Structure 1
Amino acid sequence: MEFVTALVQLQEESSCPICLDYLKDPVTINCGHNFCRSCISRTWKGLGAPVHCPVCRVCFRDRNLRSNSQLSHLTEIAKLLQIRRSKRKRQEESSMCEKHNQLLTLFCGKDLEVLCTRCSFSIQHQKHYICPIKKAASHHRKILECTIKPLKDNMEQVEKVLTLQASKSVELRKQVKYRREEIHSEFEQLRLFLQNQQEDILRQMEDEEMEILAKLNENFVTFTDHVSSLKHLLREVEVSVIHLQKPFAPTSILESIRNLLKYLQ
Protein backbone atom coordinates (compact mmCIF):
# COMPACT_ATOMS: atom_id res chain seq x y z
CA MET A 1 0.00 0.00 0.00
CA GLU A 2 2.88 2.35 0.73
CA PHE A 3 4.10 1.85 -2.87
CA VAL A 4 0.63 2.64 -4.25
CA THR A 5 0.38 5.78 -2.07
CA ALA A 6 3.82 6.94 -3.16
CA LEU A 7 2.97 6.29 -6.81
CA VAL A 8 -0.25 8.31 -6.49
CA GLN A 9 1.65 11.21 -4.93
CA LEU A 10 4.30 11.05 -7.67
CA GLN A 11 1.57 11.10 -10.32
CA GLU A 12 -0.04 14.14 -8.69
CA GLU A 13 3.29 16.00 -8.65
CA SER A 14 3.87 15.00 -12.31
CA SER A 15 0.47 16.27 -13.46
CA CYS A 16 -0.37 19.65 -14.94
CA PRO A 17 -2.97 21.60 -12.87
CA ILE A 18 -4.54 22.89 -16.12
CA CYS A 19 -4.93 19.80 -18.38
CA LEU A 20 -4.72 17.31 -15.43
CA ASP A 21 -2.52 15.05 -17.58
CA TYR A 22 1.17 14.20 -17.29
CA LEU A 23 3.38 17.28 -17.73
CA LYS A 24 4.64 17.85 -21.25
CA ASP A 25 7.71 20.08 -21.57
CA PRO A 26 7.25 21.23 -17.91
CA VAL A 27 8.03 24.84 -16.96
CA THR A 28 8.14 26.57 -13.56
CA ILE A 29 6.74 30.08 -13.06
CA ASN A 30 7.80 32.67 -10.45
CA CYS A 31 5.56 31.31 -7.68
CA GLY A 32 7.08 27.82 -8.03
CA HIS A 33 4.12 26.00 -9.56
CA ASN A 34 4.67 23.80 -12.62
CA PHE A 35 2.65 23.58 -15.84
CA CYS A 36 2.89 22.25 -19.38
CA ARG A 37 4.52 24.96 -21.48
CA SER A 38 1.67 24.85 -24.00
CA CYS A 39 -1.02 24.96 -21.25
CA ILE A 40 0.31 28.03 -19.42
CA SER A 41 1.10 29.80 -22.69
CA ARG A 42 -2.45 29.20 -23.90
CA THR A 43 -3.87 30.38 -20.54
CA TRP A 44 -1.89 33.63 -20.66
CA LYS A 45 -2.44 34.22 -24.38
CA GLY A 46 -3.97 37.64 -25.04
CA LEU A 47 -3.56 38.81 -21.42
CA GLY A 48 -1.60 41.93 -20.54
CA ALA A 49 0.60 42.47 -17.48
CA PRO A 50 0.31 41.55 -14.68
CA VAL A 51 -0.53 37.84 -15.02
CA HIS A 52 -1.47 35.50 -12.20
CA CYS A 53 -0.82 31.84 -11.35
CA PRO A 54 -3.83 29.59 -12.14
CA VAL A 55 -3.24 27.71 -8.86
CA CYS A 56 -2.33 30.23 -6.15
CA ARG A 57 -3.55 33.36 -7.99
CA VAL A 58 -0.29 35.23 -7.18
CA CYS A 59 0.28 38.08 -9.64
CA PHE A 60 3.59 39.04 -11.24
CA ARG A 61 4.64 41.25 -14.15
CA ASP A 62 7.18 39.03 -15.90
CA ARG A 63 6.15 35.89 -17.79
CA ASN A 64 9.22 33.98 -16.72
CA LEU A 65 8.93 30.33 -17.86
CA ARG A 66 11.85 28.24 -16.62
CA SER A 67 12.27 24.77 -18.14
CA ASN A 68 12.32 22.04 -15.48
CA SER A 69 14.27 19.10 -16.95
CA GLN A 70 14.42 17.29 -13.59
CA LEU A 71 10.63 17.30 -13.32
CA SER A 72 10.45 16.10 -16.93
CA HIS A 73 12.56 13.05 -15.97
CA LEU A 74 10.40 12.39 -12.91
CA THR A 75 7.30 12.55 -15.12
CA GLU A 76 8.73 9.89 -17.42
CA ILE A 77 9.53 7.71 -14.38
CA ALA A 78 5.95 8.14 -13.12
CA LYS A 79 4.62 7.07 -16.52
CA LEU A 80 6.80 3.94 -16.55
CA LEU A 81 5.82 3.02 -12.98
CA GLN A 82 2.13 3.41 -13.85
CA ILE A 83 2.54 1.22 -16.95
CA ARG A 84 4.38 -1.48 -15.00
CA ARG A 85 1.80 -1.40 -12.18
CA SER A 86 -1.06 -1.73 -14.68
CA LYS A 87 0.72 -4.60 -16.43
CA ARG A 88 1.40 -6.38 -13.13
CA LYS A 89 -2.20 -5.86 -12.07
CA ARG A 90 -3.47 -7.37 -15.34
CA GLN A 91 -1.15 -10.37 -14.87
CA GLU A 92 -2.36 -10.87 -11.30
CA GLU A 93 -5.99 -10.63 -12.40
CA SER A 94 -5.43 -13.07 -15.26
CA SER A 95 -3.84 -15.62 -12.85
CA MET A 96 -6.90 -15.66 -10.57
CA CYS A 97 -9.69 -18.20 -10.84
CA GLU A 98 -12.82 -16.38 -11.97
CA LYS A 99 -15.06 -18.90 -10.21
CA HIS A 100 -13.36 -19.16 -6.80
CA ASN A 101 -11.16 -16.02 -6.82
CA GLN A 102 -8.07 -18.06 -5.91
CA LEU A 103 -4.64 -18.21 -7.53
CA LEU A 104 -4.31 -20.61 -10.45
CA THR A 105 -1.50 -22.87 -9.25
CA LEU A 106 -2.41 -26.31 -10.66
CA PHE A 107 -2.71 -27.89 -14.11
CA CYS A 108 -5.03 -30.64 -15.34
CA GLY A 109 -3.12 -33.00 -17.64
CA LYS A 110 -6.29 -34.44 -19.19
CA ASP A 111 -8.26 -31.26 -19.88
CA LEU A 112 -5.11 -29.12 -20.28
CA GLU A 113 -6.51 -26.41 -18.03
CA VAL A 114 -5.02 -24.29 -15.24
CA LEU A 115 -6.88 -24.73 -11.94
CA CYS A 116 -7.07 -23.35 -8.47
CA THR A 117 -7.06 -25.66 -5.44
CA ARG A 118 -10.85 -25.77 -5.17
CA CYS A 119 -11.21 -26.51 -8.91
CA SER A 120 -8.87 -29.51 -8.57
CA PHE A 121 -11.29 -31.17 -6.07
CA SER A 122 -14.34 -30.69 -8.27
CA ILE A 123 -16.22 -33.62 -9.83
CA GLN A 124 -15.19 -32.44 -13.28
CA HIS A 125 -11.51 -33.16 -12.58
CA GLN A 126 -11.81 -36.30 -10.45
CA LYS A 127 -9.36 -39.06 -11.44
CA HIS A 128 -7.49 -36.56 -13.65
CA TYR A 129 -3.76 -36.12 -13.33
CA ILE A 130 -3.29 -32.82 -11.46
CA CYS A 131 0.16 -31.30 -10.95
CA PRO A 132 1.68 -27.91 -10.08
CA ILE A 133 1.89 -25.38 -12.92
CA LYS A 134 5.71 -25.30 -12.78
CA LYS A 135 5.94 -29.07 -13.19
CA ALA A 136 3.39 -29.01 -16.04
CA ALA A 137 5.27 -26.18 -17.70
CA SER A 138 8.55 -28.10 -17.49
CA HIS A 139 6.91 -31.25 -18.90
CA HIS A 140 5.23 -29.48 -21.79
CA ARG A 141 8.38 -27.45 -22.46
CA LYS A 142 10.26 -30.72 -23.04
CA ILE A 143 7.48 -31.94 -25.33
CA LEU A 144 7.57 -28.73 -27.32
CA GLU A 145 11.37 -28.81 -27.47
CA CYS A 146 11.14 -32.27 -29.08
CA THR A 147 8.95 -30.79 -31.80
CA ILE A 148 11.40 -28.03 -32.68
CA LYS A 149 13.76 -30.17 -34.79
CA PRO A 150 10.99 -31.90 -36.80
CA LEU A 151 9.38 -28.52 -37.39
CA LYS A 152 12.69 -27.05 -38.53
CA ASP A 153 13.30 -30.04 -40.83
CA ASN A 154 9.80 -29.72 -42.21
CA MET A 155 10.29 -25.99 -42.67
CA GLU A 156 13.59 -26.59 -44.51
CA GLN A 157 11.91 -29.10 -46.81
CA VAL A 158 9.09 -26.68 -47.54
CA GLU A 159 11.60 -23.89 -48.19
CA LYS A 160 13.48 -26.19 -50.61
CA VAL A 161 10.22 -26.95 -52.39
CA LEU A 162 9.42 -23.24 -52.53
CA THR A 163 12.89 -22.51 -53.90
CA LEU A 164 12.47 -25.25 -56.51
CA GLN A 165 9.03 -23.96 -57.43
CA ALA A 166 10.39 -20.42 -57.72
CA SER A 167 13.22 -21.70 -59.94
CA LYS A 168 10.74 -23.60 -62.12
CA SER A 169 8.54 -20.54 -62.29
CA VAL A 170 11.46 -18.39 -63.46
CA GLU A 171 12.47 -21.03 -66.03
CA LEU A 172 8.89 -21.30 -67.27
CA ARG A 173 8.66 -17.54 -67.68
CA LYS A 174 11.92 -17.60 -69.66
CA GLN A 175 10.63 -20.39 -71.92
CA VAL A 176 7.32 -18.62 -72.47
CA LYS A 177 9.13 -15.39 -73.25
CA TYR A 178 11.47 -17.15 -75.70
CA ARG A 179 8.57 -18.98 -77.37
CA ARG A 180 6.58 -15.74 -77.57
CA GLU A 181 9.51 -14.00 -79.26
CA GLU A 182 9.98 -17.00 -81.57
CA ILE A 183 6.31 -16.99 -82.62
CA HIS A 184 6.42 -13.24 -83.10
CA SER A 185 9.50 -13.65 -85.33
CA GLU A 186 7.85 -16.44 -87.34
CA PHE A 187 4.69 -14.45 -87.88
CA GLU A 188 6.73 -11.39 -88.81
CA GLN A 189 8.59 -13.43 -91.44
CA LEU A 190 5.29 -14.84 -92.69
CA ARG A 191 3.83 -11.35 -92.84
CA LEU A 192 6.82 -10.10 -94.87
CA PHE A 193 6.57 -13.14 -97.18
CA LEU A 194 2.84 -12.57 -97.77
CA GLN A 195 3.45 -8.87 -98.27
CA ASN A 196 6.12 -9.63 -100.90
CA GLN A 197 3.82 -12.17 -102.55
CA GLN A 198 1.02 -9.63 -102.60
CA GLU A 199 3.26 -7.00 -104.13
CA ASP A 200 4.51 -9.48 -106.78
CA ILE A 201 0.98 -10.58 -107.68
CA LEU A 202 -0.27 -7.01 -107.83
CA ARG A 203 2.72 -6.03 -109.95
CA GLN A 204 2.10 -9.01 -112.28
CA MET A 205 -1.59 -8.11 -112.55
CA GLU A 206 -0.64 -4.51 -113.33
CA ASP A 207 1.76 -5.66 -116.07
CA GLU A 208 -0.89 -7.94 -117.56
CA GLU A 209 -3.41 -5.14 -117.35
CA MET A 210 -1.07 -2.78 -119.18
CA GLU A 211 -0.34 -5.43 -121.82
CA ILE A 212 -4.06 -6.14 -122.37
CA LEU A 213 -4.84 -2.43 -122.50
CA ALA A 214 -2.06 -1.94 -125.06
CA LYS A 215 -3.49 -4.76 -127.22
CA LEU A 216 -7.01 -3.39 -126.87
CA ASN A 217 -5.79 0.05 -127.83
CA GLU A 218 -3.96 -1.42 -130.85
CA ASN A 219 -7.10 -3.31 -131.88
CA PHE A 220 -9.15 -0.20 -131.38
CA VAL A 221 -6.90 1.76 -133.73
CA THR A 222 -7.00 -1.04 -136.30
CA PHE A 223 -10.78 -1.34 -136.20
CA THR A 224 -11.14 2.44 -136.27
CA ASP A 225 -9.04 2.61 -139.45
CA HIS A 226 -11.02 -0.29 -140.92
CA VAL A 227 -14.32 1.40 -140.12
CA SER A 228 -13.04 4.59 -141.71
CA SER A 229 -12.06 2.67 -144.85
CA LEU A 230 -15.47 0.99 -144.96
CA LYS A 231 -17.20 4.33 -144.61
CA HIS A 232 -15.14 5.72 -147.49
CA LEU A 233 -15.92 2.65 -149.62
CA LEU A 234 -19.62 2.90 -148.73
CA ARG A 235 -19.71 6.46 -149.90
CA GLU A 236 -18.04 5.54 -153.22
CA VAL A 237 -20.48 2.67 -153.72
CA GLU A 238 -23.46 4.87 -152.96
CA VAL A 239 -22.17 7.52 -155.41
CA SER A 240 -21.56 4.88 -158.10
CA VAL A 241 -25.08 3.47 -157.65
CA ILE A 242 -26.55 6.92 -158.04
CA HIS A 243 -24.57 7.55 -161.27
CA LEU A 244 -25.43 4.11 -162.65
CA GLN A 245 -29.13 4.89 -162.31
CA LYS A 246 -28.80 7.56 -164.95
CA PRO A 247 -29.64 6.67 -168.61
CA PHE A 248 -26.17 7.32 -169.74
CA ALA A 249 -23.62 6.39 -167.07
CA PRO A 250 -20.27 8.14 -167.37
CA THR A 251 -17.46 6.02 -168.66
CA SER A 252 -15.32 6.93 -165.69
CA ILE A 253 -17.94 5.46 -163.33
CA LEU A 254 -17.96 2.19 -165.17
CA GLU A 255 -14.22 2.05 -165.07
CA SER A 256 -14.20 2.69 -161.29
CA ILE A 257 -16.69 -0.15 -160.72
CA ARG A 258 -14.02 -2.66 -161.59
CA ASN A 259 -11.81 -1.34 -158.81
CA LEU A 260 -14.68 -1.32 -156.32
CA LEU A 261 -15.74 -4.87 -157.11
CA LYS A 262 -12.12 -6.00 -156.84
CA TYR A 263 -11.90 -4.37 -153.35
CA LEU A 264 -15.24 -5.90 -152.26
CA GLN A 265 -14.22 -9.42 -153.21
Structure 2
Amino acid sequence: MVLPYKDSPEEGICAICQDLLKEAVSTDCGHLFCRACLAQHVEKASGDLCCPLCRKPCSEGVLGEGYLCHSHQKRVCRFCEEHKLLLCVECLESPEHQPHPEPTIKEAISHYRERLSRRSRKLKKDLAELQRLQAQQEEKPQALRLCALPWQGPDQLEAASAERAGTLSLWEAIAQLSNLVADLERTAKELDATTLKNASDVLSRSAPQNLDGLFPLLPPTGPAPR
Protein backbone atom coordinates (compact mmCIF):
# COMPACT_ATOMS: atom_id res chain seq x y z
CA MET A 1 0.00 0.00 0.00
CA VAL A 2 1.34 3.45 -0.90
CA LEU A 3 0.78 6.30 1.52
CA PRO A 4 1.28 9.93 0.42
CA TYR A 5 3.45 12.15 2.59
CA LYS A 6 4.59 15.73 2.34
CA ASP A 7 8.26 16.61 2.03
CA SER A 8 9.00 17.88 5.54
CA PRO A 9 11.42 17.14 8.38
CA GLU A 10 8.55 15.77 10.48
CA GLU A 11 8.17 12.83 8.12
CA GLY A 12 11.62 11.46 9.03
CA ILE A 13 14.63 10.13 7.19
CA CYS A 14 14.84 7.67 4.31
CA ALA A 15 16.72 4.55 5.42
CA ILE A 16 18.34 4.21 1.97
CA CYS A 17 19.68 7.70 1.19
CA GLN A 18 19.76 8.92 4.82
CA ASP A 19 18.18 12.21 3.76
CA LEU A 20 14.77 13.79 4.36
CA LEU A 21 11.97 11.79 2.78
CA LYS A 22 10.87 12.92 -0.67
CA GLU A 23 7.57 11.59 -2.05
CA ALA A 24 7.59 9.08 0.79
CA VAL A 25 6.07 5.65 0.27
CA SER A 26 5.38 2.99 2.88
CA THR A 27 6.18 -0.70 2.53
CA ASP A 28 3.68 -3.28 3.78
CA CYS A 29 5.62 -3.46 7.05
CA GLY A 30 5.29 0.29 7.59
CA HIS A 31 8.83 1.49 6.84
CA LEU A 32 9.13 4.73 4.85
CA PHE A 33 11.43 5.44 1.93
CA CYS A 34 11.82 8.04 -0.81
CA ARG A 35 9.91 6.85 -3.85
CA ALA A 36 13.00 7.16 -6.07
CA CYS A 37 15.19 5.25 -3.58
CA LEU A 38 12.70 2.42 -3.23
CA ALA A 39 12.22 2.33 -7.01
CA GLN A 40 15.96 1.70 -7.46
CA HIS A 41 15.81 -1.07 -4.86
CA VAL A 42 12.81 -2.66 -6.59
CA GLU A 43 14.51 -2.56 -9.99
CA LYS A 44 17.57 -4.40 -8.66
CA ALA A 45 15.50 -6.99 -6.81
CA SER A 46 15.30 -10.50 -8.19
CA GLY A 47 12.53 -12.80 -7.10
CA ASP A 48 10.10 -11.76 -4.39
CA LEU A 49 10.17 -8.15 -3.21
CA CYS A 50 11.14 -7.38 0.35
CA CYS A 51 11.62 -4.32 2.54
CA PRO A 52 15.20 -2.99 2.27
CA LEU A 53 15.25 -2.45 6.04
CA CYS A 54 13.64 -5.48 7.69
CA ARG A 55 13.51 -7.86 4.68
CA LYS A 56 9.81 -8.61 5.17
CA PRO A 57 7.85 -9.30 1.96
CA CYS A 58 6.38 -6.37 0.00
CA SER A 59 3.50 -6.32 -2.45
CA GLU A 60 4.12 -5.82 -6.17
CA GLY A 61 2.33 -2.47 -6.01
CA VAL A 62 4.44 -0.99 -3.22
CA LEU A 63 5.43 1.97 -5.43
CA GLY A 64 1.91 2.68 -6.63
CA GLU A 65 -0.11 1.97 -9.76
CA GLY A 66 2.33 3.87 -11.97
CA TYR A 67 4.91 1.13 -11.38
CA LEU A 68 2.54 -1.75 -12.14
CA CYS A 69 1.95 -3.30 -15.54
CA HIS A 70 -1.72 -2.68 -16.37
CA SER A 71 -1.99 -5.94 -18.31
CA HIS A 72 -0.53 -8.34 -15.72
CA GLN A 73 -0.51 -6.33 -12.46
CA LYS A 74 3.18 -7.08 -11.95
CA ARG A 75 5.97 -4.61 -11.28
CA VAL A 76 7.48 -3.05 -14.38
CA CYS A 77 11.15 -3.61 -15.18
CA ARG A 78 11.68 -2.46 -18.80
CA PHE A 79 10.66 0.37 -21.10
CA CYS A 80 9.60 -0.21 -24.71
CA GLU A 81 10.84 2.80 -26.67
CA GLU A 82 8.93 1.82 -29.80
CA HIS A 83 5.51 1.69 -28.12
CA LYS A 84 6.33 3.99 -25.16
CA LEU A 85 5.19 1.39 -22.64
CA LEU A 86 6.43 0.12 -19.29
CA LEU A 87 6.83 -3.67 -19.37
CA CYS A 88 6.84 -6.44 -16.79
CA VAL A 89 8.54 -9.84 -17.13
CA GLU A 90 5.41 -11.35 -18.69
CA CYS A 91 5.23 -8.56 -21.28
CA LEU A 92 8.80 -9.39 -22.34
CA GLU A 93 7.69 -12.89 -23.32
CA SER A 94 5.24 -11.47 -25.84
CA PRO A 95 6.26 -11.86 -29.53
CA GLU A 96 5.61 -8.13 -29.88
CA HIS A 97 8.61 -7.29 -27.68
CA GLN A 98 10.97 -10.20 -28.30
CA PRO A 99 12.48 -9.02 -31.63
CA HIS A 100 14.26 -6.04 -30.07
CA PRO A 101 16.00 -5.55 -26.70
CA GLU A 102 14.21 -3.30 -24.24
CA PRO A 103 16.29 -1.13 -21.87
CA THR A 104 15.86 -1.43 -18.13
CA ILE A 105 13.99 1.44 -16.52
CA LYS A 106 17.25 2.75 -15.04
CA GLU A 107 18.91 2.69 -18.48
CA ALA A 108 15.91 4.39 -20.08
CA ILE A 109 15.83 7.14 -17.45
CA SER A 110 19.55 7.81 -17.90
CA HIS A 111 19.21 7.80 -21.70
CA TYR A 112 16.23 10.15 -21.80
CA ARG A 113 17.65 12.51 -19.18
CA GLU A 114 20.80 12.94 -21.29
CA ARG A 115 18.75 13.53 -24.45
CA LEU A 116 16.54 16.08 -22.69
CA SER A 117 19.55 17.94 -21.30
CA ARG A 118 21.34 17.93 -24.65
CA ARG A 119 18.25 19.24 -26.47
CA SER A 120 17.75 21.91 -23.82
CA ARG A 121 21.34 23.16 -24.19
CA LYS A 122 20.95 23.39 -27.97
CA LEU A 123 17.66 25.28 -27.81
CA LYS A 124 19.06 27.69 -25.22
CA LYS A 125 21.66 28.75 -27.79
CA ASP A 126 18.91 29.28 -30.37
CA LEU A 127 16.87 31.22 -27.82
CA ALA A 128 19.83 33.49 -27.06
CA GLU A 129 20.16 34.27 -30.78
CA LEU A 130 16.46 35.12 -31.08
CA GLN A 131 16.73 37.36 -28.02
CA ARG A 132 19.72 39.11 -29.62
CA LEU A 133 17.60 39.82 -32.70
CA GLN A 134 14.81 41.10 -30.47
CA ALA A 135 17.23 43.49 -28.77
CA GLN A 136 18.29 44.80 -32.19
CA GLN A 137 14.64 45.38 -33.12
CA GLU A 138 14.00 47.26 -29.90
CA GLU A 139 16.96 49.56 -30.54
CA LYS A 140 15.25 50.96 -33.63
CA PRO A 141 13.12 54.10 -33.18
CA GLN A 142 9.61 53.03 -32.26
CA ALA A 143 8.06 55.10 -35.05
CA LEU A 144 10.10 53.18 -37.61
CA ARG A 145 9.44 49.81 -35.99
CA LEU A 146 5.71 49.88 -35.41
CA CYS A 147 4.12 52.95 -36.99
CA ALA A 148 3.24 53.95 -40.53
CA LEU A 149 3.97 57.67 -40.77
CA PRO A 150 1.50 59.89 -42.70
CA TRP A 151 4.04 60.99 -45.32
CA GLN A 152 5.22 57.46 -46.18
CA GLY A 153 4.62 56.18 -49.70
CA PRO A 154 3.18 52.74 -50.61
CA ASP A 155 6.59 51.05 -50.61
CA GLN A 156 7.45 52.49 -47.22
CA LEU A 157 4.07 51.49 -45.80
CA GLU A 158 4.52 47.92 -47.04
CA ALA A 159 8.02 47.75 -45.54
CA ALA A 160 6.74 49.10 -42.21
CA SER A 161 3.95 46.50 -42.18
CA ALA A 162 6.43 43.69 -42.89
CA GLU A 163 8.72 45.00 -40.16
CA ARG A 164 5.84 45.02 -37.67
CA ALA A 165 4.80 41.45 -38.58
CA GLY A 166 8.39 40.24 -38.27
CA THR A 167 8.75 41.81 -34.83
CA LEU A 168 5.55 40.20 -33.57
CA SER A 169 6.64 36.80 -34.96
CA LEU A 170 9.97 37.17 -33.18
CA TRP A 171 8.25 37.76 -29.83
CA GLU A 172 6.03 34.72 -30.41
CA ALA A 173 9.03 32.56 -31.34
CA ILE A 174 10.89 33.58 -28.18
CA ALA A 175 7.86 32.79 -26.01
CA GLN A 176 7.37 29.39 -27.66
CA LEU A 177 11.03 28.45 -27.38
CA SER A 178 11.24 29.64 -23.75
CA ASN A 179 8.29 27.42 -22.80
CA LEU A 180 9.83 24.47 -24.61
CA VAL A 181 13.19 24.86 -22.83
CA ALA A 182 11.35 25.07 -19.49
CA ASP A 183 9.44 21.85 -20.33
CA LEU A 184 12.67 20.05 -21.25
CA GLU A 185 14.43 21.09 -18.04
CA ARG A 186 11.45 20.27 -15.81
CA THR A 187 10.95 16.86 -17.44
CA ALA A 188 14.65 15.99 -17.05
CA LYS A 189 14.58 16.98 -13.38
CA GLU A 190 11.40 15.03 -12.55
CA LEU A 191 12.12 12.00 -14.74
CA ASP A 192 11.23 8.59 -13.33
CA ALA A 193 9.53 5.41 -14.55
CA THR A 194 6.10 7.02 -14.58
CA THR A 195 7.20 10.00 -16.73
CA LEU A 196 9.28 8.24 -19.40
CA LYS A 197 6.47 8.57 -21.94
CA ASN A 198 6.23 12.31 -21.18
CA ALA A 199 9.96 12.61 -21.88
CA SER A 200 9.47 11.04 -25.28
CA ASP A 201 6.59 13.42 -26.06
CA VAL A 202 8.61 16.52 -25.06
CA LEU A 203 11.55 15.40 -27.20
CA SER A 204 9.19 14.94 -30.13
CA ARG A 205 7.76 18.45 -29.70
CA SER A 206 11.27 19.90 -29.61
CA ALA A 207 12.55 17.96 -32.62
CA PRO A 208 14.21 20.20 -35.26
CA GLN A 209 11.63 19.36 -37.94
CA ASN A 210 8.87 20.61 -35.62
CA LEU A 211 10.61 23.95 -35.04
CA ASP A 212 11.40 24.92 -38.63
CA GLY A 213 8.90 27.77 -38.49
CA LEU A 214 10.93 29.55 -35.80
CA PHE A 215 14.32 29.57 -37.41
CA PRO A 216 13.91 31.42 -40.73
CA LEU A 217 14.05 34.43 -38.39
CA LEU A 218 17.70 33.67 -37.69
CA PRO A 219 20.49 34.99 -39.92
CA PRO A 220 23.03 32.64 -41.56
CA THR A 221 25.40 33.28 -38.64
CA GLY A 222 22.87 31.78 -36.22
CA PRO A 223 22.42 28.11 -35.31
CA ALA A 224 23.54 25.47 -37.77
CA PRO A 225 20.88 24.42 -40.30
CA ARG A 226 18.63 21.62 -39.14
**TM-score, normalising length from structure 1?**
0.31
Q: Identify, as 1 or 2, the structure richer in helix.
A: 1
Greater relative contact order (Cα 8 A, min sep 6): structure 1 or 2?
2
Q: Radius of gyration: which is bigger?
A: 1
Q: TM-score, length-normalised on structure 2?
A: 0.36
